[in-house]
Amino acid sequence: MVRGSSHLTRLQPYKVRPSPDETPYRWETGTQNHEAMAGVTAAIDYLAELGRMTNDEGRTTNDDHSQPRRAALLAGMHAIQQYERGLAERMIAGLLMIPGLTFYGISDPAHFANRTPTIAIRIDGHSPRAIASYLGERGIFAWDGNYYALGLTERLGVEPSGGMVRIGLMHYNTAEEIDRLLAALGELAGG
């Protein structure tokens, strides 16, 4: 039985007819979301496979299928974190060199453990929408607005002028893509 099942047995559902043989599942109101379960399982398998393919330093190795799934999953998440942190360091260092660019958030590499690889910026003389469109025309995806952090953009005073540009990194991004982004933003800021 599942943890806390004594409470599930004691309580009686008032809107659904409980299944007499499946007490822990008596609270389910219909068919389970099998598509979501398959998707979550595939995502976990993918992350574990990444973990099996990397060593402690995040470098690719031969597949190690003897590694337990949980350990492989943790290794995969660690490898992603390390790789994304390296990309973020490269991107942030380059962004801070662009004249007229305002960077929001932690920019000190000593504190990168306290941030995600998602960056928020503005560039003098360009609305966030114009910057995102400019990048989009060059095949670089970025988003503009407040990202549902309306209180923050209002407090920063940027909401009336379009919020900020958000650029996010993932473990499948490359250093070359970072360089292409920095070149495009440098071109926009300079011209």
Provide the residue ranges of all domains of the chain, joining segments of one domain with +: 5-78, 80-190
Which residue in 122, 123, 171, 126 sits closest to 146, CA to CA?
A: 122
- 82-123 residue pLDDT tens: 999 999 999 999 999 999 999 999 999 999 999 999 999 999
Residue 190: CB partners within 8 Å, gap ≥ 6?
A: 99
Q: Rounded distance, CA 128 to CA 147, Å? A: 12
Residue 41, token pair as written in the block: 């399982």
What is the end-to-end Cα distance of the chain in Å, rounded? 66
Lowest-confidence segment of 4-8, 51-55, 182-186 by average pLDDT: 4-8
Fold for the domain defined by 80-190: Aspartate Aminotransferase, domain 1 (3.90.1150)
- 145-179 residue pLDDT tens: 999 999 999 999 999 999 999 999 999 999 999 99
Residue 67, pLDDT score: 72
Secondary element (H or E) of residue 6: helix 5-10
Beta bridge partners of 54: 60
Residue 83, pLDDT score: 95
CA distances in angstroms from 26 to 9, 17, 21, 23, 35, listed in the order given:
9, 8, 9, 5, 21
- 33-91 residue pLDDT tens: 899 999 999 999 999 999 999 865 545 555 556 678 999 999 999 999 999 999 999 99
CA distances in angstroms from 47 to 31, 85, 118, 137, 188, listed in the order given:
27, 17, 20, 32, 37
Residue 115, token pair as written in the block: 């941030």
C-alpha 17: how far from chain center: 40
Q: Which has more pLDDT, 182 or 64?
A: 182
Q: Rounded distance, CA 150 to CA 162, Å? A: 11
Residue 1, pLDDT score: 44
Mean pLDDT of 26-33: 73
Number of neighbours of residue 134 by Cβ within 10 angstroms: 18
Residue 11, pLDDT score: 72
- Residues, the chain, total? 191
